[in-house]
């Protein structure tokens, strides 16, 4: 969706391509991005759109386990990247499960211009490879699922990664969740857009200099 000059891949939570992720995609499209979001559950069940009740969380976790948390989803991310024109700068933003996939994408896909991860719970266990592109990570200080010690280990290991902590709980970006925090969501989005715009501008400048 969108017809802007910059590409963006948006990676879902474990709740499928639901209303929240669609709204996120719409927001980025309105901001001038051409947005693609892979339906990661389609490998095992098509059209999954879950809510945020406990039974939805359980169902989402079951589906993610069936798909496989990393290998198969990264194939979908690569396919999305390859769908963009070669000359178009592309970045990636992921949420929860997608936040971890954003980190893996930064480690494995140097064509990307930047990667942003929101509350990616497995990142602290995936620090053996450095990111190949600029990375920004958003975490909640009061996250019930992600230990703050792991968050800080990321920054200690890779000081070049921008890591932000918010006075909020897990899922603070989603207005359909109990932990939604409007102030944190707005600030995180502003920071995210700043990185994306800067990374894409740098890519454009590099392209012009190489063509000169």
Residues annotated as catalytic (active site), given as ranges: 96, 143, 170
List the Cα angle 93/95/101 in 5-degree steps.
70
Distances (CA, A) of 81 to 35, 134, 138, 173, 188: 11, 17, 23, 24, 24
Q: Which of 58, 1, 7 is nearest to 200 (CA)?
A: 7
Contact 14, 64 (CB under 8 A): yes
Residue 105 neighbours by CB distance under 10 Å: 30
Q: Report d(CA 142, CA 23) in Å as an integer.
A: 25
Q: Report d(CA 126, CA 132) in Å as an integer.
A: 14
Evaluate the CA torsion angle 26, 137, 94, 144 in order and state its sign: negative
Evaluate the CA torsion angle 188, 190, 192, 195 in order and state its sign: negative
């Amino acid at each position: 969706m969108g017809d802007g000059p910059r590409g963006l891949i948006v990676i879902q939570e474990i709740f499928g391509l639901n209303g929240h992720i669609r709204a996120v995609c719409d927001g980025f499209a309105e901001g001038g991005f051409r947005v693609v979001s892979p339906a990661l559950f389609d490998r095992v069940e098509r059209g999954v759109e879950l809510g945020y009740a406990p039974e939805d969380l359980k169902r989402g976790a079951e589906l993610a386990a069936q798909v496989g948390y990393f290998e198969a989803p990264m194939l979908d991310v690569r396919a999305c990247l390859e769908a963009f024109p070669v000359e178009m700068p592309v970045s990636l933003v992921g949420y929860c499960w997608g936040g971890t996939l954003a980190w893996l994408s930064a480690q494995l896909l140097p064509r990307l211009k930047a990667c942003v991860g929101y509350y990616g719970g497995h990142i602290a266990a995936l620090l053996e490879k450095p990111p190949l592109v600029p990375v920004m990570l958003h975490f909640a200080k009061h996250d019930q699922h992600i230990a703050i010690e792991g968050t800080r280990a990321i920054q200690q290991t890779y000081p070049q990664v921008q890591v932000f902590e918010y006075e909020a709980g897990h899922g603070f970006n989603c207005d359909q969740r109990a932990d939604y925090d409007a102030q944190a969501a707005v600030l995180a989005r502003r920071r995210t857009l700043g990185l994306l715009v800067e990374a894409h501008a740098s890519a454009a400048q590099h392209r012009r200099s190489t063509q000169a």
